[in-house]
């Protein structure tokens, strides 16, 4: 699955963002502005007309990736489980894709040399995703769908369950990431909902061990 949603090849700004995503994955943040312009098929000055600096271009890429994930949390007319399933599928498809892992690897490799890069990524990426998820979970706690708990902890816990250990595995093992698996997401979300379920919830019962 592509890191960004389908782009409009006739729109210059869209082409620039898509090209920047590909170049950052291939070459890291040290990639030249010229490389992005060449891949997008535009002049260097055209790129600067849209994005005054490479840091702003990178930040825009992160914001659009984040926006694609945040959309999956919309839908107040749906139940909590359905919203979390949709979010989990989209989140894993991005974070555990070849492109997502490549982008994450390129980012981590450059953070020591470009500390402002890490700040841009965190502010426009993980922080916004966690904040929106926290709002959804807090609403669910307030209306009794989840037991009262620290909403920050609840948000971090779900995000960690969705990608944490698996992202480390595919970053370091050399194995290709798996195809998106909705059944795996359902397993994670249902486990999460049981952990945060209201007492004696009829919706997410804790599995009982069968008698010997």
Task: Clarify whether residues 91 and 188 are in a common domain.
Answer: yes
User: Which phi and psi (to 5°) does residue 140 adopt?
Assistant: -65, -35
CB 158 within 8 A of CB 86: no
What number is the average pLDDT over the span 112-140? 88
Task: Show the DSSP H helices in 111-181 as ranges.
Answer: 115-124, 126-142, 151-159, 165-172
Q: Give per-residue pLDDT as tens, 135-190.
A: 999 999 999 999 999 999 999 999 999 999 999 999 999 899 988 899 999 999 99
Q: Which domain holds residue 45?
A: 8-52
Q: Give per-residue pLDDT as tens, 97-114.
A: 988 888 888 888 888 888
Task: Clarify whether residues 104 and 150 are in a common domain.
Answer: yes
Task: Clarify whether residues 140 and 82 are in a common domain.
Answer: yes
Task: Clarify whether residues 150 and 48 are in a common domain.
Answer: no
| End-to-end CA separation in angstroms for the chain | 45
3-state helix/strand/coil string of 73-106: CCCCCCCHHHHHHHHHHHHHHHHCCHHHHHHHHH
* Cα 86 to chain centroid, rounded: 12
């Amino acid at each position: 699955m592509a890191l960004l949603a389908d782009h409009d090849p006739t729109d210059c700004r869209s082409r620039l963002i898509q090209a920047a995503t590909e170049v950052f994955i291939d070459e890291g943040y040290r990639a030249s502005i010229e490389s992005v312009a060449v891949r997008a098929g535009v002049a260097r000055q055209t790129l600067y007309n849209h994005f005054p600096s490479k840091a702003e271009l990178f930040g825009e890429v992160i914001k659009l990736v984040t926006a694609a994930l945040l959309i999956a949390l919309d839908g107040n007319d749906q139940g909590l489980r359905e919203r979390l399933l949709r979010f989990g599928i989209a989140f894993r498809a991005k974070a555990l894709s070849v492109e997502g892992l490549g982008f994450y690897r390129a980012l981590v490799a450059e953070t020591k040399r470009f500390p402002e890069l890490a700040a841009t990524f965190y502010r426009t990426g993980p922080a916004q995703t966690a904040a929106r998820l926290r709002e959804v979970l807090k609403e669910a706690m307030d209306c009794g769908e989840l037991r009262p708990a620290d909403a920050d902890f609840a948000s971090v816990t779900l995000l960690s369950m969705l990608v944490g250990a698996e992202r480390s595995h595919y970053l370091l093992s050399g194995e290709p990431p798996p195809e998106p698996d909705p059944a795996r997401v359902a397993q994670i979300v249902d486990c999460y909902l049981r952990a945060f379920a209201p007492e004696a919830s009829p919706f997410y019962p804790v599995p009982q061990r069968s008698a010997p």
